[in-house]
A and B are shown apart, each in its own frame.
Chain A
C-alpha cells in the first residue's frame, strides 16, 4: 500500500519520456501483481467483513435467521445498557492508567539500557522477552495463579504485613492486576525508545554538562523534546492497543468479565453479546462505535501533538 503513491507519482512526473514511462507502467503492473495475494486477502478478509458488519450493525441478527433491518436501534439501546456503560468505564480506566504507566516503565528501562555497560545485549533481550510471551494464553494463566488466594503475590505481600487476599476474586483489585500485566509487557515500546535515544547527539548532553545542568534538567530539556516524535508514536500505538485488550481478560475471568464485571472490557462484552447471546447486530454496532471512538482519539492526538512534538528541522 505504502509504495503505490510513490510509484504513480514517479510515473506521473515523467510524461515526456514515453519509453521510460512504458517501463514504469510495467513496473507498476508488476508491483500490483506482487501485491495481489495480500490485496485479495485484504479485500476478502478485512474490507468485506467490515462492510458487512457495518450493515449488520443496523440489523437484528441472531446468526440463524436472516438479518432484520432495525435502523439505529442497536446504537441507541447501547446507551441504555448498563453493562455496556460498565464495559466503557472499565476499558477507559485501563487505557488511562495502563498506557502511561507502561510507557513510563518502557522509557525508564530504555534509558537504563542506553548507557554503555557490559552485557547490555543480554539485558536488552531479557527485558524484551516478557512482551513476546506476555500476550500468550499461558501467561494469563500463570498470572491468574500468581494473584490467587495464597499465590506468590499474596504470600509476598503478607510477608510485609499487607493482607489483601487473592486479587483474582476481588473486584477492587482485578484492574490493578490487569494493568500490572500490561505494564510488564513494556518491551515493544522500550525497543523503540531505545532506538530513539540512540539518535540523540551526545554533544548536546556534553554541552549541557558544561553549563552545569543536572540529570533532571537534561531529561526535561534534551531527552524529552528530542524524543518527542518517538514518544508520540508509542503513545498512539499503545493507546490503540489498550482499547483492544481481550485475550488476557477472557482467560483471567473465565470468559465472563467477572468478578462483578470488573474485567468486562469492551471487546470482551462485544464477544459475549455476539457469540454467547447471539446478538450479532448489537455486537457489530459496538465494534463500529469502537472504531469511531478510536479514530476520534487518534485525531485528537494528532491535533494536540503540534504543541509538544518536535521534529528535526522544525523552526520552533
Chain B
C-alpha cells in the first residue's frame, strides 16, 4: 500500500520535474532573422494581475500584426514568484528573450552579465527625459529602458473622509500633521476604519525621508549611506501610532493578502506609488480616489522623484537581439501601446507614447499628480545595490515584526543592519 503510494508519488514528481526541465529549456530558438512566412519567435514575460495580462495580450497582438516576421510568446506570474523563476532560469542560462523588469533587481542581473546591453541594439530613446534614462544604466551600459514613471504619493478616499467628517488634505503637511491626520481618522473610524498602514515600513518612503534630509541611501561604491541611528529615528516616527487606530494592525494586513488594506476598504489612506490607482479602484470599488504629495518637514524639499515603474530588458543570451530590440522599442514608444495600458504601468515615459495617449478620469488624476509635483522632483536614484530586493523585503519584514510587538525599534534596526551588512559583504 505504502509502496504503491510512494511509487505513484515518485512518478508524479518525475513527471513534474520533466515538465519543469522542458519549460526551462524552451526559450532558445536557433533562428536569427525571420520573415512573414517563417517568423522568429521571442519569449516575453511580465508580472502583474489579470488586468495587465489582458492589456499585454492586446499589445502583443498589435505588435505581431505590425511585425509579421516576429511572433511573441507571452507568460506571466505574480511579483514574488516572478523573481524566483527568473533566478532558476538565469542559473540554467534560459532567461526569456524580453522581460518586464524592476529597478530593485537591475544590478543583480545587469552587473552579473545576464542582461543585454541595449546600447548595442537599435532602440529609439529620443523621446525620453534625459534625467530618467540613467536609472536603467549601470557603469555606462544601458540594461533597461523605462516603460513608464511613477512617483510616491498619499492616496485617500474622499468618500470615506467625508463620512467621518474629516476635511480632505491638500498635501502640504509635515510629519506631525500627517500623524495627527491619521490619528483623527483612527479615532473617528472607531475600529472599523483605520488611518493607514505603517508608512515607516515602506522602504521607498524611508528613502524619500532620507532625501528630504539630504542623505543618500547608498553610496557610489555600493555601501549604505545612512546610519543605524537614522533608521531608528525613522522607525520612531510612528512609535506613538502603532497599536492605535491610526495604523491598521499587522494581523489584519496579513489576512487581507494579497489585497492591500486600502484596496479592502480597511484604511482611509495609503502611502505608495501613484500607478497603483487602477488596482486600488478595482479592488475597493471606490468611486474615486485622490492623490496628494507625501509629508515633509522641509516644505521646499519633498524628496520626491520619478522612478521607472518598470523597465524593459533583454536576456544577454538572446539569439534574436534584433527582434527583441524591436519589441522593446514598440512597447516603450508606440502611442497605441500607451492607449492600451493608460497609467496601469505608470505614466508613459516616452513623450511620443505619452502624447499619443488620452488620459481620462482617474488616469488623468495620476498624470496630473505627476505634473503637479514637477517642481519638487529631483534626479531619479541610481539602480540600487546588488541584493537590494532582499533588503527591501527585509525592511518590510522587520517593520511587520515591530508592529506585532516582536521587535523593538532598536531590535528592528539591528536586525535590518545585520542583514544589510551581511549582504554587502557577500557581494563584495
Contacts and interface: CB of A to CB of B under 8 A. Distances in A.
Interface of A: 41, 45, 60, 62-65, 77, 82, 148-149, 165-166, 168-171, 188, 191-192, 195, 254-256, 258-261, 275-279
B258 A258 contact: no
B327 to A, nearest CB: 24
Given A64-B109, A259-B400, A261-B401, 6 more contacts: A41-B14, A168-B254, A169-B250, A258-B254, A260-B404, A279-B426
Interface string B237-272: 000000000000011111101100000000000000
17 contacts: A41-B14, A62-B112, A62-B427, A63-B90, A64-B112, A148-B255, A169-B251, A170-B251, A188-B5, A254-B257, A258-B254, A259-B251, A259-B400, A276-B83, A276-B87, A276-B390, A278-B87
Nearest to B423: A277
A195 B112 CA distance: 57
A166 B250 CA distance: 12
Contacts of B5: 188
Contacts of B255: 148-149, 166, 168-169
B387 interface: yes
Given A259-B404, A260-B401, A276 B393 contact: yes
A65 to B, nearest CB: 6
B1 interface: yes
Nearest to A45: B17
A64 B415 contact: no
Given A192-B2, A254-B80, A171 B426 contact: no
Contacts of A277: 387, 390, 423
Contacts of B112: 62, 64-65
A254 B109 CA distance: 25
Majority SS at the chain A contact face: loop
Interface residues of B, number: 40
Nearest to B401: A260
A278 B387 contact: yes
A233 to B, nearest CB: 10
A149 B406 CA distance: 21
B247 to A, nearest CB: 15
B397 interface: yes
A64 B91 contact: yes
Contacts of A254: 80, 257-258
B97 interface: no
Given A254-B257, A260-B406, A63 B87 contact: yes
Given A63-B87, A255-B80, A278 B108 contact: yes
A258 B400 contact: yes
A123 B252 CA distance: 39
A73 to B, nearest CB: 10
Nearest to A282: B426
Contacts of B390: 276-277
A294 to B, nearest CB: 17
Given A82-B415, A277-B387, A171 B404 contact: yes
B114 interface: yes
B268 to A, nearest CB: 19
Contacts of B88: 275
B234 to A, nearest CB: 20
A260 B258 CA distance: 17
A192 B252 CA distance: 42
Nearest to A80: B418
Given A192-B2, A259-B250, A171 B406 contact: yes
B84 interface: yes
Contacts of A82: 415
A277 B84 CA distance: 9
Given A275-B84, A276-B393, A277-B390, A259 B91 contact: no
Contacts of B253: 169
A42 to B, nearest CB: 10
A260 B400 contact: yes
Contacts of B400: 258-260
A191 B14 CA distance: 26
Q: Taking each of A45, A77, A171, which has the highest tally of chain B beta carbons within 10 Å of its own beta carbon? A: A171
Contacts of A188: 2, 5
Interface in B402-428: 404, 406, 415, 422-423, 426-427
A50 to B, nearest CB: 15
Contacts of B254: 168-169, 258-259
Contacts of B87: 63, 275-276, 278
A172 to B, nearest CB: 10
Q: Taking each of B88, B90, B254, B257, which has the highest tally of chain A beta carbons within 10 Å of its own beta carbon? A: B254
Contacts of B387: 277-278
B261 to A, nearest CB: 12
